[in-house]
Structure 1
Amino acid sequence: MAVVEPVPGDPAAVADCGDERALVVADYHAGIETGLRYERGVELPSDADGRRARLLALAEQVDPDRVVVLGDLVHRIGDPGADERDEVGALLDALDARNLPLTLVPGNHDGGVAAAYGDRVDVADAGGYRRGDVGFVHGHTWPDRSVLGARTICMGHEHPQVRLEDEVGGGRAEKAWLRGPLRAEPFAAELGVDPAALAWPDPPPELVVFPAFNDRSGGTWINVEGQSFLAPFLPAAVAETAEAYLLDGTRLGAYRRL
């Protein structure tokens, strides 16, 4: 079994961290409906209960020791507003009832989470968090060097998705996973060292870019020409052999050839 194994049909995975199993999701974006209302004038009813129910159902299914969120637990940048506080509070209450701790690798939307929930959420360093053979990052900053030594690195931030078209020009968007080996050279350049100094493992670390858990957060089209990635180390750091997969496990092949 892979160190990080997606849950078929869901934007979530189980990570084997050696001493424990973690249920891993990315980009929860609690309170997104309030953000969409003020940012874009889009009125949508809150799906807070639905998001919480989905996460709890996954926890029931895979029986983890911990939940890890790969950044953007909340949608509002800065101090969480009332909607974010209510949604995250209800989620934490439900996890506490199941004795499930939550670790957050903070993303670019999580600036106020430590102050708001620091006594209930294990907030990691923004440069990443490593447990056993698995590293966890959000992806909006360069990972800490210690995280790069992990066998598998889980990342959010991008919300990868693919556009699928049929023979008559119809199309639809699908959430996707992006998985592939990491190249040492961009990280060495950022750190100002020779690539050999990183003692890059053989085989190289695998990067697993998670689809967004939130269904309303949009994403990066990884198979549309001209689409830019958000992470400062992508696409340079991921090998051209990196592959895309749909949530149901369908292998689409090398993402650059889709």
Structure 2
Amino acid sequence: MPTAGSITFDDRAVILDGTLVVADLHVGRGTGGSLELPVGSNAEMVERFGSLIDRHDPEEVVVAGDLLHSFQTVPRTVDDTVAGFEQACRDAGASLVVVPGNHDTMLDAVWDGPAESTTRIGETVVCHGHEEPATRGERYVIGHDHPTIEIEGQRRPCYLVGTDQYHGSEVVMLPSFNALNAGVVVNEMRAADFQSPLVTDADNLEPIVWDGQGRETLSFPRLGEFRRML
């Protein structure tokens, strides 16, 4: 399985020291009033989530923010989907931790488990990334910006990995786990264009694309160099 340092990349997730991390599931995106989720989207996410657990057998699974999409009431399909994630963890004997994000306004309606603003995996801090964390670490694993990269006119969800970011740390930004999110094209973005304050040097971010067909990661030049090649 493709790795970078001690991190393994797989299907919009990362695995670090026995912990599986996903971000920006936005369960409920596309609902309105009594509308159901778009056909197949909830089942597709639960299936991919379960497949990741089967492949990596983690001891712990962390949702790095925005488990839910913002809404005033929780549609039934949202509750069912979250229950599917919980069941997949229980079946594997893995604990589930949710780090709230800025969209998780109704989290209490579907989740009564651990929900801290950060969680730590050794010297790595996992948080959503929408605000500066209270916890310091040598590496931060975050979501929030939904990065994608445009290559030959085609958008691909990507990870962004960069050293010398927030307080000199390494930052690993995950793509949105929800395939419905179009994402933000990062090709020409500067640090000020990112919503996360943990990105302080966009030029030093390396885009990494997960190729599901070849089951491999594809690395591209850091954004500073990539921008000059466009």
Using the size of structure 1 for normalisation, the TM-score is 0.75
Aligned-residue offset at 1:115: 4.6
Residues 157-236 of structure 1 correspond to what in structure 2 (within 5 A)? 157-165=144-152, 171-183=153-165, 204-224=168-188, 228-234=193-199
Q: Is the 8 A contact 2:53 2:92 kept in 1?
A: no
- Cα distance in 2 for partners of 1:225, 1:66 equals 33
> Judging changes above 3 Å, is the alpha-carbon distance between structure 1 residues 78 and 6 closer, same or farther for their aligned structure 2 residues?
farther
Q: Is the 8 A contact 1:31 1:46 kept in 2?
A: no
Q: Is the 8 A contact 1:207 1:238 kept in 2?
A: no
Q: Is the 8 A contact 2:23 2:65 kept in 1?
A: yes
Over aligned residues, Cα RMSD in angstroms?
2.6
- Aligned partner letter, 1:141: E
Aligned-residue offset at 1:232: 3.3
- Aligned partner letter, 1:212: S
Counterpart for residue 98 of structure 1: 92
Aligned-residue offset at 1:233: 4.2
Q: Among residues 107, 116, 119, which one is paired with 1:124 in the alignment?
A: 116
Q: Give unmatched runs, 5+ long, in structure 2.
A: 212-216
> Judging changes above 3 Å, is the alpha-carbon distance between structure 1 residues 44 and 95 closer, same or farther for their aligned structure 2 residues?
same
> Judging changes above 3 Å, is the alpha-carbon distance between structure 1 residues 124 and 77 closer, same or farther for their aligned structure 2 residues?
farther
Residues 56-75 of structure 1 correspond to what in structure 2 (within 5 A)? 56-75=50-69
Q: Give unmatched runs, 5+ long, in structure 1.
A: 166-170, 185-199
Counterpart for residue 201 of structure 2: 238
Structure 1 segments of 4+ aligned residues over 6 angstroms from their partners: none
Aligned-residue offset at 1:215: 0.3
> CA offsets, 1:118-148, max 9 Å, x none?
1xx32112xx22231211010111111x2x2
* Residue 25 of structure 2 corresponds to residue 24 of structure 1: no
- Cα distance in 2 for partners of 1:54, 1:74 equals 17
Counterpart for residue 134 of structure 1: 124
Using the size of structure 2 for normalisation, the TM-score is 0.84
Aligned length: 217
Percent identical among aligned pairs is: 28
